[in-house]
Amino acid sequence: MSSRKSKNSNLKHGECISQVQRILRERFCHQIPKGNLFGVQAQYKHLIELLKRTAIHGESNSALIIGPRGSGKTMILNQALEELMEIKQVRENVLQVHLNGLLQTNDKIALKEITKQLCLENVVGDKIFGTFAENLSFLLEALKKGDRTTSCPVIFILDEFDLFAHHKNQTLLYNLFDISQSAQTPVAVIGLTCRLDILELLEKRVKSRFSHRQIHLMNSFSFSQYLKIFKEQLTLPEAFPDKHFTEKWNETVQGLSEDKNVKDVLLKHFHASKDLRSLHMLLMLALSHITSSRPFIIPTDLIEANHLCSMDSKANIVHGLSVLEICLLIAMKHLNDIYQDEPFNFQMVYNEFQKFIQRKAHSVYNFEKPVVMKAFEHLQQLELVKVMERTSVNTQREYQLVKLLLDNNQIMDALQKYPNCPTDVRQWAASSLSWL
Amino acid sequence: MFPLENAVLCRESQVSTLMALFGERHHFSFPSIFIYGHTASGKTYVMKTLMKTSELPHVIVNCVECFTSRILLEHILNQLNCLTPSKDECTSHIACDSFNDFVRLFKKVTQDQGVDDQTVYIVLDKAEYLREMEANLLPAFLRLQELTNRNVTVIFLSQIVWEKFRPNTGCFEPFIMYFPDYSIGHLQKILSHDHPPEYSADFYAAYINILLGVFYTVCRDLKELRHLAALNFSKYCEPVVKGEANERDTRKLWRNIEPHLKKAMHTVYLREISSSQWEKLQQDDTEMGQLKGLSAHAHVELPYYSKFILIAAYLASYNPTRTDKRFFLKHHGKIKKASFMKKHEKTSNHLLGPKPFPLDRLLAILYSIVDSRVAPTANIFSQINWIIYISTNSTSLCLTLHSISNSCHFHILFIFITSLVTLQLLTLVGHDDQLDGPKYKCTVSLDFVRAIARTVNFDIIKYLYDFL
């Protein structure tokens, strides 16, 4: 009887964990914008005022939201749109068009997409328009159908705005801003971009039609706010079915945010990158360790997750090279030391390698030149060594100038960790210019 | 889990990390995962096996095969269409022009296939080739979950590190995962796994030990080592088959196989000869010294004069111009030793590569080294030519001289030189229509030209500046 009861509770426990995973994964990976707005309240207010003026009062506007990657541009825009759509009048009237610079790579595709999103494909039918402007104004006229004297307000959202600025003649941007300046239809054009110098990219005629309203998002929160965000992101919502579990979970989260090791890890992470996306990656990694047998996050999970996130990838690659390839790297390091980072070719590297073999090597066999060449080409394939100019038919492969893309510290660090490194190779690496 | 563990040796921790990240079918996971590691470290194999045994809806695409964005996107959509084998839509081909269409069609296809409540995985193998395709492909794939608003995870497999992928203006950062290289113990375990059933596991393990002993310092690529292991095993078993030794006679077996493996290193390993040629050689038991690799075929038989032209070209490429007087004039004056001896190791021409030389210099050197071996009529002309060349060093004078005296001789030589260019022993540098005559460069190695020189009894080392 009791075993059945405990099995039931375990089942419920397993389901509970699954629910926790689902909610938190959606929060970290799918970026559902339900969080508090830390430090961006003023920008949010500005944005929502702007949108309200277009949606409710019929005023045309344009604005650019500028901020580095991961600073919350899409998040604040989505939240503003959600709040706006709660107003009944807005929900029934206003149309939204979402464009993305990565998807609509030229203006023709963009126009087709606008037609589709405004659901005007039937209206357009097979009409052929002379210019872009004609097409766009036709679309906006078509929205006037019915008893309305003015057409519905349209909010245009342009993600990756800087990519639109690379289109030919910036036609789409010109026309959108033109409409937002003229009084025909109430249109709001909101662009999101990560480039601070976006205005330099715009042509003069486009720039003059733009309202120069810029909303800047700089991750301007301090470490204590960062800790609060950390706690808030991990906390389960009130609406979670299992109240008892929620309490225990939130208690563990509180304990985590006060633990010294966790604070150190978060401080290291904060110093590397402030944005919330990397925090979400860290939390997601810690979350993936949770199972029915271990239902709560412990500090070790976060420490391990931080370690995974901050690995040096080039050192990892050097760790997997063969001894011959390591010898070539050391020969190149010596060439860089002697000749002050001037580019060299394979023949010079082979020469250095030969000198090492003849004088100091006991454990490394004197390999033939083609075998050494194959190892050198492997390094080129891994992009640790880069050719200075394009392959021309005129130069033989041994004489092409190349450059090493690792610096001395990286090589020495990698050698420390290299497994079973022969001692004479290690000594050769550490020795300085003792040949000359 | 059991069939999975047996299928993927030495990769248990990577598999468990991936399974933990994927979570349950309907859970969200990272929008993009970037997996890097050396070639043959098991990335593609583990991904394929994991997807198949867990029966996750997935698409695996190789970016070398699908080298344009259109082929890549259509391939993904068509594979997605065939996910549930019961439907007949596999036969219809979906056309997709741009990424915009791809997003729209992706939403439609996942809905039709009934997988829009589970995570769909798109695996892009050899992802480093994405960098050379259209610029929007990589950033768009990184954000596919956001763009389509569906539960999809894109996994990139590559041997190049992530820092080399990142676009200039930044992008959505994927989760970066490292597949560590196999240690020597791991390699031994994996290689011993495919031992043929006729022999015991210990016997094969001893063979693998010897093989790794020879090749481990040069190559740690699992695929290459497996290839070499498969090719050379029959030679290893030879003494046992012939009855000369039994399975435990490790010394005898080692002595038999070790020179064979060393030979393999500079033939089969370098792909100088094909695997079938190698196997045939082992069966025929011919003398290994007669092995002719691909590069050996470059030793073509040249006519007598062409050999001298080649030697002269080599001397012209690798000797600096100011040293010509000392080597090639019969009565050179005293040359100051100090200015002559100054040479750094770095500027040794054999390290920097061959230098281009004008045609006249080639002919002058040629006449100088050939003078004792040719009929006396040409002798006088060669001396005259040489003296005038050295004293004026003016190309126009040389050319008029050629045209007056030696026209037919010159034409024949020019044919020889052009044939050497066709054989790619010389290369033409610069444009054909250069006004001051063509320039050439000698592209053969020192060993090659020494072999040629030996056949005409010419000691080339005496004439090379770097070997003074």
A366–B contact, CB cutoff 8 A? no
pLDDT category of residue B125 using cuts at 50, 70 and 90: very high
**Mean pLDDT to the nearest integer, B311-321:** 89
Specify whether the CB–CB gap between B307 and B456 falls below 8 A: yes
User: Which residue reads 């038999």 in tokens?
Assistant: B256
Number of H helices and E strands in chain A, helices first, is 22, 7
User: Which residue reads 């990272």 in tokens?
Assistant: B30
Neighbouring residues of A77: CB distance < 8 A, sequence distance ≥ 6: A47, A65, A157, A190, A192
- From the CA of A150, how many Å to the nearest CA of chain B? 31
Q: Which residues of B touch A163 (CB under 8 A)?
A: 136
Q: What is the longest distance spanned by two Cα atoms in chain B? A: 93
From the CB of residue A430, how many other CB atoms can be counted at a distance below 10 Å?
A: 10
What is the H or E stretch that residue A90 is in? helix A88-93
Nearest to B21 among A100, A163, A288 (CB): A288
Question: With 50 as the cut, is the pLDDT of residue B394 above it?
Answer: no
pLDDT category of residue B422 using cuts at 50, 70 and 90: confident
pLDDT at B342: 53
Specify whether the CB–CB gap between A135 and A129 falls below 8 A: yes
Highest mean pLDDT among A18-27, A115-124, A131-140: A18-27
Q: In whole angstroms, what separates CA B446 from the centre of its chain?
A: 22
* Alpha carbons B177 and B129: distance in angstroms, whole number: 19
Which one of A24, A288, A353 makes the best mutation probe of the B interface by having the most chain B beta carbons within 10 Å?
Answer: A288
- From the CA of B100, how many Å to the nearest CA of chain A? 5
Structure tokens belonging to residue B147: 């763009």
- From the CA of B350, how many Å to the nearest CA of chain A? 8
Q: Which residues of B touch A370 (CB under 8 A)?
A: 266, 270, 272, 295
A94–B contact, CB cutoff 8 A? no
* A49-85 per-position pLDDT tens digit: 999 998 888 889 999 999 999 888 888 999 999 999 9
Nearest to B23 among A25, A367, A382 (CB): A25
* Bigger pLDDT: B380 vs B289: B289
Nearest to A281 among B20, B147, B175 (CB): B175
* Alpha carbons B320 and B70: distance in angstroms, whole number: 54
* Alpha carbons B110 and B104: distance in angstroms, whole number: 10
Chain A's closest residue to B262, CA to CA, is: A367
Q: What is the longest distance spanned by two Cα atoms in chain A? A: 95
**Mean pLDDT to the nearest integer, A199-222:** 91
Question: With 50 as the cut, is the pLDDT of residue B379 above it?
Answer: no
- Please return the burial class of B442, using the count of CB atoms within 10 Å of its CB with bins 0-12, 13-18 and 19+: buried
Chain B's closest residue to A198, CA to CA, is: B169
* A215-242 per-position pLDDT tens digit: 999 888 889 989 998 998 888 888 888 8
Task: Please give the full DSSP string across B253-316, using - where no structure is assigned.
Answer: HHHHHHHHHHHHHTTTTTTSS-HHHHHHHHHHT--GGG---TGGGG-PPPPHHHHHHHHHHHHH
From the CB of residue B51, how many other CB atoms can be counted at a distance below 10 Å?
A: 19
Predicted complex ipTM: 0.91
The type of residue at B48 is K
pLDDT category of residue B36 using cuts at 50, 70 and 90: very high
A91–B contact, CB cutoff 8 A? no
- The CB-based long-range contact list for B391-400 (8 Å cut-off, 24+ gap) reads B395/B358, B395/B360, B395/B436, B395/B437, B398/B360, B398/B364, B399/B360, B399/B437
* Alpha carbons B212 and B209: distance in angstroms, whole number: 5
B16–A contact, CB cutoff 8 A? no
Q: Which of A371, A376, A366 is nearest to A397 (CA)?
A: A376
Interface of A with B in 63-82 (CB under 8 A): 68-70, 74
A393–B contact, CB cutoff 8 A? yes
pLDDT category of residue B353 using cuts at 50, 70 and 90: confident
- Please return the burial class of B151, using the count of CB atoms within 10 Å of its CB with bins 0-12, 13-18 and 19+: buried
Does the beta-carbon distance from A313 to B354 stay under 8 Å?
no
A196–B contact, CB cutoff 8 A? no
Chain B's closest residue to A436, CA to CA, is: B345
Nearest to B147 among A31, A100, A281 (CB): A100
Give me the sheet containing B426-429, strands edge to edge.
B357-358, B439-442, B426-429
Return mean pLDDT, chain A. Answer: 86
What is the H or E stretch that residue B429 is in? strand B426-429
- Number of residues assigned to chain A: 436
Return the exposure string of A380-411: e unless at least 16 CB atoms fall within 10 Å of the residue's CB, then b: eebbbbeeeeeeeeebbebbbbbebebeeebb
B255–A contact, CB cutoff 8 A? no
Does the beta-carbon distance from B169 to A367 stay under 8 Å?
no
pTM for the predicted model, two decimal places = 0.88
A351–B contact, CB cutoff 8 A? yes
CB pairs under 8 A between A and B: 164
> What letter does residue A185 receive in the DSSP assignment?
S
Strands (E), B108-200: 120-125, 152-158, 175-178
* A391-400 per-position pLDDT tens digit: 666 678 888 8
Phi, psi of A51 (to 5 degrees): -65, -35
pLDDT at B137: 93
Which one of B217, B220, B428 makes the best mutation probe of the A interface by having the most chain A beta carbons within 10 Å?
Answer: B217
Does the beta-carbon distance from B99 to A103 stay under 8 Å?
yes
- Please return the burial class of A368, using the count of CB atoms within 10 Å of its CB with bins 0-12, 13-18 and 19+: exposed
Q: Which residues of B touch A29 (CB under 8 A)?
A: 28-31, 145
pLDDT category of residue B46 using cuts at 50, 70 and 90: very high
Return mean pLDDT, chain B. Answer: 81
Neighbouring residues of A9: CB distance < 8 A, sequence distance ≥ 6: none
> What letter does residue A288 receive in the DSSP assignment?
T
pLDDT at A382: 94
* B247-285 per-position pLDDT tens digit: 778 888 888 888 888 888 888 788 877 888 888 877 776
Q: Which of B190, B174, B119, B123 is nearest to B148 (CA)?
A: B119
* Bigger pLDDT: B186 vs A396: B186
**Mean pLDDT to the nearest integer, A367-392:** 88
pLDDT at B74: 94
Question: With 80 as the cut, is the pLDDT of residue B7 above it?
Answer: no
Q: Which residues of B touch A345 (CB under 8 A)?
A: 351-353
Question: With 90 as the cut, is the pLDDT of residue B156 above it?
Answer: yes
